Amino acid sequence: MANEIKLSNIAHSFGDETVIKEVNLTVEQGEIFGLLGPSGAGKTTLVKIIVGILNPSEGEAYVQGTKMPSLKQMREIGFMAQSDALYMELSAKENLDFFGAIYGLSPSDRKRRIAEALNVVDLGNHIDKPVDKFSGGMKRRLSLAAAILHEPKVLILDEPTVGIDPVLRQSIWKELNYLKEKGTTIIVTTHVMDEADKCDRLALLRDGYVIAQGSPEQLKQEINAASIEEAFLYYGGARQ
């Protein structure tokens, strides 16, 4: 397996506040890698550094061998932010058509991929509805469709299932595993423990530090924990 993503000695500050501290991790090609931690742990800042939206104060981030930030590489990444970057006055189809054009998809490819992506997130019946008529959960699902539209090799999802019902959440994880089997490398941030268990490997974040890394089973077995939540509490306490 090749390293798709590599972070070396990453630190980042906003003014006097350091929110990421001494982060080193690698994500392998074709795995689902979870960043697990509470609000304020630094998950969103870390994924923004990986995507290239933020330049780290210290250290280096590489995606597919390219040092970030890189505009060229950013076009190859699918990114779903915590806040929905959608045009409210446009329909679901018009939003995805716009994003498809930005990604350089041909009109015929856009038509095909819009139908496929909307099917994945169960919005096929709402293709012509203006987004300002969507519920919060529907907007999250459309944001996910936009992120996977161009079939990226690297997919980064920041809290992708917030506000989504359990049945659709299961469907989305099924799709993520399908994308993984096709070779897509996926990073998911979450604070939901049962979602963390679905990842191939995890980095546990607290106060800007990676306090532990490994597969969910490894992290539990190392300390004989019954759950990821128990493991997180243990490693978090050990850091203090």
CATH code, 40: 3.40.50.300
pTM: 0.89
Residues 36, 188: Cα–Cα separation, whole Å? 8
Residues 62, 3: Cα–Cα separation, whole Å? 9
Predicted local distance difference test score (pLDDT) of residue 189: 94
Residues 103, 106: Cα–Cα separation, whole Å? 9
Assigned domain for 104 exists: yes
Residues 56, 13: Cα–Cα separation, whole Å? 8
Assigned domain for 171 exists: no
Give 65-111 pLDDT, tens digit per residue.
Answer: 999 999 888 888 999 988 888 999 999 999 999 999 988 899 999 99
Residues 192, 237 within the same domain = yes
Predicted local distance difference test score (pLDDT) of residue 2: 60
Assigned domain for 92 exists: yes
Q: Which of 123, 174, 170, 169 is nearest to 145 (CA)?
A: 123
Residues 146, 49 within the same domain = no
Residues 51, 109 within the same domain = no
Assigned domain for 177 exists: no
Residues 110, 160 within the same domain = no
Predicted local distance difference test score (pLDDT) of residue 137: 82
Residues 118, 146 within the same domain = yes
Residues 111, 141 within the same domain = yes
Residues 157, 240 within the same domain = yes
Residues in the chain, pLDDT under 70 = 1-2, 238-240
Assigned domain for 126 exists: yes
Residues 147, 158 within the same domain = no
Assigned domain for 174 exists: no
Domain region containing 1 = 1-76+153-164+185-240
Q: How many CB atoms lie within 10 A of CB 240?
A: 7
Q: Measure Cα distances from 110 to 104, 126, 149, 172, 185 in Å.
A: 9, 17, 8, 21, 22
Residues 157, 229 within the same domain = yes
Residues 122, 212 within the same domain = no
Residues 44, 160 within the same domain = yes
**What is the tally of structural domains in the chain?**
2
Residues 202, 135 within the same domain = no
Assigned domain for 179 exists: no
Assigned domain for 175 exists: no
Task: To the nearest 10°, report the CA torsion of 121, 159, 152, 33.
Answer: -120
